[in-house]
Structure 1
Amino acid sequence: MTPRPYPDTPAPRAIEENIYRSIKAVILSGRLSPGTRLPETRIAPLFGVTRERLRKVLHRLGHEHLLRIVPNVGAVVPAPSLDRARELFDARRVLEAGIGACLCERITDDDIRRLERHVDEEEDIAAAGDRPRFILASSRFHQTLAGLLDNPLVSAQLDELLAKSALFSAFHDPEHGSACSCREHRRIVDSLARRDIADVHEAVVAHLSLIETRLRPVPPDAPRTDAVTALRAHLATEPIRP
């Protein structure tokens, strides 16, 4: 199935947002091996846009650490090293444990219900086996917790760490990690509902440590495909909408 191209004129922000979501979903699916190039000349026609418009999207993904923009080469899928995982998750444990402690003093019952609905949604996504969507939903859970503090600096710091974590989840976390994360998120919400600072701290630290322990090296024979083929397959099942 050939995806319907966009006219390269109206609603440029909406067009770029849909292209961004499509490419991000393919990256987070883990179907692209680290080092895979995203050639502008072959990908732009899939979306019916110019290379310049596509380049804006690729640079946005580069800013979020989901791609590397290499001079004279272009956009490349990064290679997250398990050697750096401890450093990343140590930073998240420090930041997110602090977020949880602060929330115990200000979280409302409405906030708790909002978090509970989010975990319900996560469980549905995990049951459907939609791995890229689950990774994004899991990140939104943590972003929502930070957002409840209404502190843009905290949210910005966490967003950067989450973007890097998403690549680790895409490449190094086995499929069964989704259901585990749902249970761990539920425990965090239950602890927050009780305003129990010690238990929130324990739940947050345990959750992030368990994510780290679930990371595994990528098998050398793991199936991978090129970016154009992966995007074409994605668009066949998730067509872009003007």
Structure 2
Amino acid sequence: MTKTEPIKDAAQERDEIIYQHLHAAICDSRLLPGTRLPEDTLAETFGASRTIIRKVLQRLAYEGLIEIRPNRGAQIAEPSVPEARDIFATRRILECGALAEMAGKVTTADLEALKAINAAEDEAQLKGDRAAAIRLSGEFHIHLVGLAGNAVLSELVARLIARSSLIIATYGSPISVTCRHSEHEQIIDLIARGAFAEAADWMGEHLTTIERSLRWEQETPDLQAVLREFIGGSTAKP
């Protein structure tokens, strides 16, 4: 009796497709933090049952990308400031540690792949395509960590980077992007020279720079103050 490949269940395949679409929409900031995700709307959009939609939402909730609240349904997660700081602290630990594990493993092809992602990210920034820049920045970091050859580490970092996209969408300025092109170039250069300890230090500074660029204080504008700017400080009378 010959061994055969397991047949993938059609329902599981549909689950995965819907999951990938929603995951991409969240991580590319097409769906912003706080956006509600009604099951009936999603079911109609994807042509799927609410049971399938519910399974996908539970998976995204487990990954911290959405929140499911009793009697209110699902919505894109809105990370708190302490949670955001913890995520960046964890990324520093894991991504700097990954660089220390790369000695003797990085090939010329690996470096070229990093350069290609970096170039695409730079082009997205120049075009003002913030969503693409965020996605490509995350792709750069995920690909870089993958060079350490640790699948568990890669999975953990990929999840943290997805949640970082929500943090940037929540606390970043409308014109800011996740990473500076030159900082990624510097990391590639250090790896190419075999300076992995220096690259780890640089990665720590790089992630700290991103964190410091975020606006933690989200102030609600004063309605009257804003409108007075448009009417020159005068008070309208009936």
Aligned residues of 1:30 and 1:170 also touching (Cα < 8 A): no
Name the CA distance, whole Å, in 1 between partners of 2:40 and 2:188. Answer: 46
Structure 1 residue runs of 4+, over 6 Å off? none
Worse-superposed segment, 146-155 or 110-119: 146-155
- Matches of 1:148 and 1:101 in 2, distance apart? 11
CA RMSD of aligned residues (A): 2.6
Superposed counterparts of 1:1-242, under 5 Å: 15-28=14-27, 29=29, 32-34=32-34, 36-178=35-177, 180-217=179-216, 218-220=218-220
* Residue 230 of structure 1: aligned partner: none
> Residues 129 and 18 from structure 1, CA distance in 2 versus in 1: closer, same or farther, beyond 3 angstroms?
farther
TM-score by length of 2: 0.76
Q: What TM-score does the superposition give when structure 1 sets the normalisation length?
A: 0.75
**Any conservation in 2 of the 1:126–1:179 contact (CA below 8 Å)?**
no
**Per-residue deviation at 1:38?**
1.1
Q: Distance in 2 between matches of 1:110 and 1:33?
A: 37
CA drift of 1:183 comes to 2.4
Task: Tell me, in whole angstroms, the C-alpha distance in 2 between the residues paired with 1:61 and 1:39.
Answer: 14
- The 8 Å contact of residues 101 and 197 in structure 1, kept in 2 or not, is answered as yes
Relative contact order higher in (CA < 8 Å, ≥ 6 apart): 1
8 A Cα contact 2:121 2:181, kept in partner: yes
Which structure is larger by alpha-carbon Rg, 1 or 2?
A: 2
Q: Would the alpha carbon gap of residues 176 and 204 (structure 1) be closer, same or farther in structure 2, given more than 3 Å must change?
A: farther
Q: Over residues 161-193 of structure 1, what are the superposed CA-to-partner deviations in whole Å (9 max), with x where a residue is unaligned? A: 223222111211224432743322221111111
Runs of 5+ unmatched residues, structure 1? 1-9, 222-242
Deviation at 1:141, TM superposition (A): 1.4
Equivalent position SS for 2:201: helix
Task: Write out per-residue CA displacement over residues 128-180 of structure 1, whole angstroms, 9 at most, x where no aligned residue.
Answer: 33333332222221111221122122223322322322211121122443274
1:132/1:170 contact within 8 Å kept: no
Alpha-carbon separation, structure 1, partners of 2:152 and 2:24: 27
Q: Which runs of 5+ in 2 are unaligned?
A: 1-8, 222-238
Separation in 2, partners of 1:137, 1:18: 21
1:153 partner amino acid: V
- The answer to whether the 8 A contact 1:27-1:170 is kept is no
Matched-pair identity in %: 36
Distance in 2, matches of 1:185 and 1:97, equals: 14
How many residue pairs match? The answer is 211
